[in-house]
Amino acid sequence: TAQIGAAFAFDLDKDYCLPYYRDLAVVLAFGMTAKDIMLSAFAKAEDPNSGGRQMPAHFGQKSNRIVTQSSPVTTQFPHAAGIGLAAKMANDPVAIYASTGEGSSNQGDFHEGINFASVHKLPVVFVIHNNKYAISVPASKQYAAEKLSDRAIGYGIPGERVDGTNMA
Ligand SMILES: Cc1ncc(C[n+]2csc(CCOP(=O)(O)OP(=O)(O)O)c2C)c(N)n1
Ligand SMILES: [Mg+2]
């Protein structure tokens, strides 16, 4: 639900998508097909993500502005800031979706990407999918803040927590 809601806040014909490996619904909304996903799962040369060379769920598809994902988590955050800067310099009115997990939000690239984007007022929406675990590590061992959305205060940008399972 959170992924569909987030994706449909964007212009799916113009905006950029920097997903992480859980964003199957997001990349389908941005135009990837079930066949594209299966070509990846079976490591076929026609796979748009990586020509069958990456693990499944490392999404990327130039035609739908889904930017190739690296395996090190959260590297997409500085990439999203860079695309935002390029768009701002070109007066290109696009928005950029970038997401990661809550465990990955404790990695350095997370801070650097959001800090750069907020200082330069770049058109990026950063999303954290909080499923309360990073593999076997519970949220209580990952961060001391009450709400991860409160981090936005430190960057000088708006931050909201939403219930990703609210179907209403
Ligand atoms: C920089 C880096 N460190 C460690 C890993 C190994 N790794 C892959 S997924 C993962 C857990 C990520 O947890 P979280 O961000 O909460 O995402 P979730 O899978 O729970 O959605 C880790 C540690 C990695 N891919 N990259
Ligand atoms: Mg997690």
- Ligand 1 in reach of 1 Cβ (< 6 A): no
Q: Smallest Cα–Cα separation from 59: which of 70, 46, 74?
A: 70
Q: How do residues 122-137 score in pLDDT, each as one tens digit?
A: 999 999 999 999 999 9
- For residues 67 and 76, the answer to whether their CB atoms sit within 8 Å is yes
- What's the pLDDT band for 155 if we cut at 50, 70, 90? very high
Q: How do residues 52-109 score in pLDDT, each as one tens digit?
A: 999 999 999 999 999 999 999 999 999 999 999 999 999 999 999 999 999 999 999 9
Burial of 124 per CB tally in 10 Å (0-12, 13-18, 19+): buried
Residue with CA closest to ligand 1 atom 20? 134
Output Rg (C-alpha) for the chain, integer angstroms.
Answer: 16
Q: How do residues 22-46 score in pLDDT, each as one tens digit?
A: 999 999 999 999 999 999 999 999 9
Ligand that lies nearest to the alpha carbon of residue 103, given by its number in the listed order: 1
Residue with CA closest to ligand 1 atom 13? 134
The DSSP letter of residue 144 is: -
CA of residue 14 relative to chain centroid, distance:
16
- Ligand 1 in reach of 134 Cβ (< 6 A): yes
Enumerate residues with CB within 5 Å of ligand 2 (an ion).
101-103, 131, 134
Strand partners, 17: 66, 97
In the predicted structure, residue 167 carries a pLDDT above the cut 80:
no
Q: Smallest Cα–Cα separation from 96: which of 5, 3, 11, 15?
A: 15
Kindly write down the DSSP assignment for every residue of 58-112, as one continuous string.
---BGGGTBPPPPSSTTTHHHHHHHHHHHHHHTT----EEEEEETTGGGSHHHHH
Nearest ligand 1 atom to the CA of 74 is: 1
- Ligand 1 in reach of 103 Cβ (< 6 A): yes
What's the rounded Cα separation, in Å, for the pair 114 and 85?
12
Q: Report the pLDDT value the prediction gives residue 166, as an integer from 0 to 100.
A: 81
Nearest ligand 1 atom to the CA of 73 is: 26
- Ligand 1 in reach of 58 Cβ (< 6 A): no
Three-class SS state of 35? helix
The DSSP letter of residue 150 is: G
Instruction: Share the mean pLDDT of the chain.
Output: 96
Q: Report the pLDDT value the prediction gives residue 164, as an integer from 0 to 100.
A: 86
Torsion of CA 56, 8, 149, 96, to 10 degrees: 70
Q: Report the pLDDT value the prediction gives residue 1, as an integer from 0 to 100.
A: 79
Three-class SS state of 50? coil
In the predicted structure, residue 19 carries a pLDDT above the cut 80:
yes
| CATH number for the segment(s) 2-20+59-155 | 3.40.50.970
